[in-house]
Structure 1
Amino acid sequence: MRGFATPKISHFYYFQAVKTIKGLSDFQAKRPSVVTIGTFDGVHVGHRKILDRLILSGKDANLESTLLTFYPHPRMVLQKDTDLRLLSSIEEKTQILNELGLDALIIHPFTKEFSRLTAKEFVRQILVNRLQARRIIIGYDHRFGRNRSADIQDLRAYGNLYGFEVEEINAQEIDDISVSSTKIRKALNEGDLETANRYLGYAYTISGKVIRGKGLGRELGFPTANLQPDTPYKLIPRQGVYVVSATHEQTTRYGMMNIGMNPTVDGTREHIEIHFFELDQDLYDQPLQVRLHKRLRDEIKFSSLDSLKAQLTADQEQARNYIATLE
């Protein structure tokens, strides 16, 4: 039900604050750069510590603060059978990163061919020749090159050879980052949205397009927008009912969302359905980015549609009470 094929991407992309996109063959660093490297899935609070350091380092040394990240996720290419689910789609990640003040965001297409670059080839071709790196900010346990054979000591040696310095992110900071990434995925899978949002530093989002459903919600007096996520590898939280919001026509709209199988009507596949409290119009085929604020309950199979309707009414009251604390 949640299987996927490896996403395809054929070029380097370079994003600026003005959202200009160029192939890397056209990319020219404005000046020498300070670079950090990683997947940065979710761009959570641990990642932001690194990015804050990167940006400050760039300003202090008059270097272009540059993030080199990858798409698809390396595990999706090298471990075909992995059931990896990501916290952010490439579009969601780019949206967040473009708001942080980086000078350059480069998304590299991760392929098997790219994975076969030796450590020296990666450093010389990408970091030195293309990015003009003068400083690399990286974790003590970072590994790179073919078969991940090189480590930070090798990077320091290349730095001496090619004229860049290496700033190490220490073990404690790396532990904080890895733990928060792990906890976010674990928390979402367990329905612990409070923990997930705390580690993210923002409300978890699901982006997608509104598609047609069976119309049952409207019959019950709770019309819903059925969301089809943009990417099949997006981590969908544990099934249940959530308080959510979305921006529609420059206005924040609140509502409640059900992730589940619709067991009361013998559903056979997972659906994501949002009922907006102050929005009753046709949203079919429109893009929607939904923010998850609070989990209310598990999905339940009711004995009748009347019982389901009564529960939805209670859910709505509980959701509205919670929303009142946000406004």
Structure 2
Amino acid sequence: MPHGNVKKPPSDYPANALPSFGRAELPRLDLLRSFEAAARTLSFTQAAEELFLTQSAVSRQIQQLEEGLGVPLFVRRHRALLLTEAGAVMQRAAIDCLERLRDATALVRAAPSLRQVSITTTPGFASIWLIPRLARFTANHPQVDVRISATLDLLDLARSQIDVAVRFVPIRGGRETPLFAETVLPVCAPSLLRDGPHPLRQPTDLAHHTLLTVDAPAHYGAMMDWGPWLEATGAGDLRMKNTLRFNHYADAVAAAVAGQGVAIGRFPLLDEHLKDQRLVTPFKGGAASQRGYYVEIAAHAQRNTDAQDFVAWLRTEAAALAP
């Protein structure tokens, strides 16, 4: 059924008189734009204001379109316009055509800025290890937009549209090579090591200090934090004076730097903290945590050269940590 504003064309323009157009006979884009605006507003004046044209210019363009088609598109009444049946057909076509052009134009214009690599990893790895080094990657890849999702959740790469994951997971028995394995050892601020009534000389001295620990999600396991070192030193029943618990490892490290207690240091993650003496290790002999940082690249990113470059850069940075 015709639209409510549609009126049948006069008898000298039969409804079936719409001609077929070849590619060379398509209406000009400027005529379609003016027609779409006039058909939507049912006003040459409003269409002209919208398109920054004069009312007479819009009227002439509509007339040119009608002459090219051989049918009237509007019934012109005093202070009113109505679409003819032919006009309603052309309105639907014009809307579809212009929308497709807008979408295609937006896609093509956005294409140069769509060079991006999205990464998911733990908050600790992101803030302590990755972000301080990231300027070296972006300096060599200035056109690449790097997006980091720092979370303890194990995100599905395909569903989340993430290109690369750095997973902190148990050592995988030689099937893959991790970026690096991990050694754990207590760390604290230099002032805590040498000052106060209970300097840290041996593990039993920890009983006089505050334990800084992380409440990790269940899938990381209970041995993620202090467990491996306490087990390796035979101090599994050690009780410290009190405990401060954090959701994220980086917060526990920050508390240790501030001298609020003793945290478990994860190396080589904290190598730079030892080099600049923000933290010190009061005891010798670290323990392997049996966990490592593994790189996973999504199937949809296998042909993303920027994602491949990012993974190669990660491995180069990790290799530089080797003694």
Shorter-chain TM-score tier: under 0.3
**Structure exhibiting the larger radius of gyration computed from Cα positions:** 2
TM-score by length of 1: 0.20
Q: Which has the higher strand share?
A: 1
TM-score by length of 2: 0.20
Q: Which has the higher helix share?
A: 2
